[in-house]
Chains A and B, each alone.
Chain A
Amino acid sequence: MNVAIVKYNAGNICSVVYALKRMGIEPVVTADAELLQKADKVIFPGVGEAHTTMRHLKQQGLDRVICRLRQPVLGICLGMQLMCRFSDEGQVDCLHIFDVDVKRFAPCRQEDKVPHIGWNTLEEVKLGLFDSRQTGQSVYFVHSYYVPVNTCTAATTDYIHPFSAALQRDNFYAVQFHPEKSGTVGEAILKNFLNL
């Protein structure tokens, strides 16, 4: 299978590469529009800051390339947030694949720490990217901004309040957590994506 990872100025792209290699897949990491369009699956990872990253994507013309992809695309963490309409992080217009805005967590109680770091459970999972095994299972999150529950929500997680752990619309899939760092549960979700 031909899997392409979008290459841009985001941190930790290598973690996704390693995760795929562990599954026997040799991905291509590229910013080349043609290579991205030709791939069977595209992964759009991301660790970083929304404003700087969006600016970089636009400079490279990657914003338009990503929006026009037709094969299954998986956004991870910041990748998912950039696929939304607008982000509070840096007050920036994003790719508008999902018609929802990214908000910052507002702690309600002293024990509500931000960033939300650690293993939290998946609820209300929708089949496709997920299978029934994943309901109630834990995946690894690291983030200060979140996508509210909306019509595209494909799984929820509760931290301070329920938020979108995953999104899906047409060929676009996105997860707030890091499947590449979520043990065997994360591997199963990546496998589901590759089997779409």
Chain B
Amino acid sequence: MLAKRIIPCLDVKDAMTVKGVNFVNFRDAGDAVELGARYSREGADELVYLDITASHEGRKTFTELVTKVAARLNIPFTVGGGINELSDVDRLLGAGADKVSVNSAALRNPRLIEEIATHYGTQVCVVAVDARYENNRWMCYLNGGRLPAGRELLPWVTEAEDRGAGEILFTSMTHDGVKQGYANEALAALASRLHISVIASGGAGTKEHFRDAFLYGKADAALAASVFHFGEIHIGQLKTYLADQDIPVRQEGQEV
């Protein structure tokens, strides 16, 4: 049976891990490669590394980090942040990433999705969307949530799927950092509209929140950062809990 995936997200700045609270303040949470290796041992199904300084600083360090992660880890990982054109995708896949996540660049230039899908296959192309619930609508944002994109969530992700996205990573800015649970209604709406996997992001605070994202949000995977980075939830224990709740998860090969 296909397992629901648990995906720690590592926001990387200068090869260090940081996590923003509502995208503004950052706290240090350790070395990015070591933290990824630890999550892998604990039972993480995949990892996401986001280069949060990509648009402002050089990308060489991040590419070097991707190489180190690929050499060290035996689970898949996605990289994102600052991917604007096909040459960025080529560089990151060449360094050993399994998938790339495109966000603002895809909203600005939706054809980028087709280009990635055509060159590397749809399975490589994760389209990440940051959206906020405002005036009874889910609206997309650019540049890590700083700039309104002027597009509604559902039409955009539908278009992204049509253009060749392999997965949708949906971050609710309304729920992110608040730790009151994922945006389950919006997630369920995406799941019923799309024919590709949906990764839930933003709002995890307790184990129950993960269960609800799978049970009510119909998500295929759930992503979280700070609850893992600060030891509030242990991935192995989370999976034991989810299994007890009849959510299919991968449990073997883990460090207890």
Contact = CB atoms under 8 A, between A and B. Distances in A.
Interface of A: 11-12, 14-15, 18-19, 21-22, 47-49, 107, 110-111, 113-121, 137-138, 140, 142-144, 158-159, 178, 180-187
A12 B253 contact: no
B3 A115 contact: no
B250 A119 contact: yes
B147 interface: no
B93 A12 contact: yes
A170 B45 CA distance: 33
Max chain A CB contacts within 10 Å: which of B94, B121, B220?
A: B121
Given A14-B70, A142-B123, 13 more contacts: A11-B124, A12-B93, A15-B98, A107-B195, A113-B194, A117-B167, A118-B221, A119-B5, A142-B76, A181-B75, A183-B40, A183-B253, A184-B253
A114 B195 contact: yes
B166 interface: yes
B197 A118 contact: yes
B120 A18 contact: no
B175 interface: no
B101 to A, nearest CB: 14
Interface of B: 1-3, 5, 40, 45, 70-71, 74-76, 93-94, 96, 98, 120-124, 166-167, 191-192, 194-197, 218, 220-221, 250, 252-253
Contacts of A142: 76, 98, 123
Contact of B74 (A111, A120, A158, A184): A184
A105 to B, nearest CB: 10
Contacts of B98: 12, 15, 142, 181
A181 B76 contact: yes
A119 B74 contact: no
Given A15-B70, A115-B166, A183 B196 contact: no
B192 A138 contact: no
A21 B71 contact: yes
B236 to A, nearest CB: 13
Contacts of A144: 122-123
Max chain A CB contacts within 10 Å: which of B1, B40, B122, B252?
A: B252
Given A120-B2, A142-B123, A144-B123, A185 B197 contact: no
Given A115-B123, A142-B123, A178-B76, A120 B195 contact: no
B113 to A, nearest CB: 15
Contacts of B218: 111
